[in-house]
Structure 1
């Protein structure tokens, strides 16, 4: 993977971890207004997950990089996002697998994993590139306690 520079987010934590990964996945947007995107098609998504915290775990990690890869890459690579019905829906626009919603859901599943750790780091940003010219940045809203 080519090293990329991502938009950064300010945070008050001592440590910041970034994990880059890619996954190939198909999807369609179940809306007539999505035009060509309403047809099944695929992308090689490039994701960057930014995690921050003040304390390391019992292994000296903020979080093990392998856990983040397993959580995202191993789950979504070579799949159809629409078939992940535990996360996406053809009925609710907030759960259509648009790049915006995929980025938010990557945040949600990452933060759920982090909430179960002893050191409680925070996912502060998801950068998700769908094509070479299009990407989304998701950050938890300002109201989320860090």
Structure 2
């Protein structure tokens, strides 16, 4: 994998880790304004998840890299995103599987996992590249409260 530099998010945590992963998935955007993207098509998504915190777990990890990959790659790779009706909704524009919503959904999935860990790390950023020239960054507003 090519080493990449991502926009960084400011925070006051002692530790920060980044997990890169790819997943191939198809989707369609159920809106007339989406143009060609209203048709079923696919991407090789490239995601970077940034997690920060002050305490390590009993294994000496902020979070295990493999756990983050399992949450996202194993769930979405080689699937039709619109079929994931637990997180996407073809009737709600705030839940259409656009790049923005997929990035936010990755955050929601990762943060829900982190909330169940004893050391309570925080997902501070999700970078999601949909094509070589198009990407989205999602940063939750609540992360700013840690500064």
**If the TM-score is normalised by the length of the shorter chain, which range does it land in?**
over 0.9
Deviation at 1:122, TM superposition (A): 0.2
1:93-112 to 2 correspondences below 5 Å: 93-112=93-112
1:77 aligns with 2:68: no
SS of residue matched to 1:21: strand
Separation (CA, whole Å) in 1 of partners of 2:14 and 2:116: 20
Deviation at 1:142, TM superposition (A): 4.8
1:5-16 to 2 correspondences below 5 Å: 5-16=5-16
Separation (CA, whole Å) in 2 of partners of 1:142 and 1:56: 21
Residue 31 of structure 1: aligned partner = 31
SS of residue matched to 1:127: strand
> Which ranges of structure 1 fall in alignment gaps of 5 or more residues?
none
Aligned length: 146
Separation (CA, whole Å) in 2 of partners of 1:55 and 1:143: 16
Residue 126 of structure 1: aligned partner = 126
1:49-68 to 2 correspondences below 5 Å: 49-68=49-68
Deviation at 1:2, TM superposition (A): 1.0
| Contact residue 26 and residue 41 of structure 2 kept, 8 A | yes
| Contact residue 124 and residue 143 of structure 2 kept, 8 A | no
Deviation at 1:144, TM superposition (A): 6.0
Deviation at 1:143, TM superposition (A): 7.1
Residue 44 of structure 1: aligned partner = 44
Q: Deviations over 1:7-36 (max 9, x none)?
A: 000000000000000000000000011000
TM-score normalised to the size of structure 1?
0.98
SS of residue matched to 2:128: strand
TM-score normalised to the size of structure 2?
0.97
Separation (CA, whole Å) in 2 of partners of 1:142 and 1:11: 11
| Contact residue 26 and residue 78 of structure 2 kept, 8 A | yes
Q: Runs of 4+ in structure 1 displaced over 4 angstroms?
A: none
